[in-house]
Amino acid sequence: MKYVENKVVLIGTGAVGMAYAFAAVNQSVCDELVLIDLNEVKSRADVTDLNHGEAWAPSPVSVIFGSYADCANAAMVVICAGIAQKPGQTRLQLIETNIRIFKTIVGEVMATGFDGIILVATNPVDVLSYATWKISGLPSAQVMGSGTTLDTARLRFNLGQYFEVSTTNVHALVIGEHGDSELPVWSAASVAGRSLAKRLAAKPEMQADLDEIFVRTRDAAYQLIEAKGSTSYGIGMALARITRAVLSNQKVTLPVSALLEGDYGHDGVYIGVPASVGRRGVRQIIELDLDASEQAKFDASVATLKAVIADVSDVIEG
């Protein structure tokens, strides 16, 4: 791989892109951060603003405004570019528009000889991760999406509040589509070292509370978007966490959007699943021991995404 150690190129400096950039600088997850956006005036101002905080960062991060040429020797490209759904526009129309945008972006990236890791954040993230893999021609391990990292963080926070423990003491995952068909894996969850299954066995009526917690987790984005126009800070921090895992070769398990190749009984689709993430991207997908209900819900989530991919296959391949 031809790359400069810990150099990241961010494409798209809207709310999500800049939340990621802010988190990356504050956490010093990379040595060099290059911003690319069509709005050069605003992005150059963002660069200056970020650089003014260098004195308070754990270690210096070189932040510059650049061009696609900077991708040639980057370790990672993080894509936050795209458009939001407009009034009267269907979800499928939104997907088709963003795929066309991605064909241009990914084409420009790959024309430089880029051979690093591409991390996709733009929604619908699972479908656009699949499209990025197809358009780029990179090995699937080198293309991933943010998947259900944000959903998982939301679930862990909500469970921590409910059980009155630190979020870091909650181990629970959301998997599947980053969207309405996602699911919590209660069978593998634990809180403060005690399995959730044992807690439920002792107090079955708790299930109603957990169901409400998951609905609140799944639908959080709708409420945030209605109130403030977007979700940004949580996903920005999730992207920074994935970036650190890659650049530091942590081999940590994170619920990213990755290509299934027989995993969980499916193939040919990008979807949120726990995966070991390191310097070469997705090292391996971790198959959880789902119970029958969870497997059925996951199967339905896969079917949802495959149907969308089939609808836009001509746009991706064309």
pLDDT tens-digit readout, 258-296: 999 999 999 999 999 999 999 999 999 999 999 999 999
Determine the average pLDDT of the residues in 225-231: 86
Residue 288 lies in a domain: yes
Residue 89's pLDDT band, with cuts at 50, 70 and 90, is low
Predicted pLDDT at 1: 47
Determine the average pLDDT of the residues in 241-269: 98
Query: How many domains does one find in the chain?
Result: 2
Predicted pLDDT at 10: 98
- Asked if 212 and 130 sit in the same domain, the reply is no
| CB-based contacts of 260, cutoff 8 Å, min separation 6 | 266, 267, 268, 269, 270, 271, 273, 285, 302
Last residue of a domain, one of 95, 125, 145: 145
- Asked if 133 and 236 sit in the same domain, the reply is no
| Residue 222 pLDDT greater than 90, yes or no | no
CB 233 within 8 Å of CB 221: no
Residue 188 is part of which domain span? Answer: 149-317
Judged by DSSP in three states, 287 sits in coil
Note if 52 is an active site residue: no
Residue 1 lies in a domain: no
| Residue 2 pLDDT greater than 60, yes or no | no
| CB-based contacts of 128, cutoff 8 Å, min separation 6 | 82, 95, 98, 99, 102, 120, 122, 145
% of the chain beyond a pLDDT of 70? 96
Average pLDDT, the chain: 95
- Which one is catalytic: 52, 171, 178, 266? 178
E runs forming strands in the chain: 7-11, 32-36, 62-65, 76-79, 117-120, 143-145, 170-171, 174-175, 183-184, 190-191, 194-195, 252-261, 267-278, 281-285
Residue 90's pLDDT band, with cuts at 50, 70 and 90, is low
Cα 121 from Cα 144, distance rounded (Å): 9
Last residue of a domain, one of 145, 175, 201: 145
- Asked if 174 and 275 sit in the same domain, the reply is yes
Last residue of a domain, one of 145, 160, 176: 145
Which candidate, 291, 259, 290, 299, places its Cα nearest to that of 275?
A: 259
| CB-based contacts of 171, cutoff 8 Å, min separation 6 | 156, 189, 190, 191
| Residue 45 pLDDT greater than 70, yes or no | yes
Residue 318's pLDDT band, with cuts at 50, 70 and 90, is confident
Residue 208 lies in a domain: yes
Phi/psi of residue 38, nearest 5 degrees: -65, -30
Strand arrangement of the beta sheet that strand 190-191 belongs to: 170-171, 190-191, 194-195
Query: Locate tokens 């009526």: which residue?
Result: 205
- Asked if 229 and 274 sit in the same domain, the reply is yes
Residue 262 lies in a domain: yes
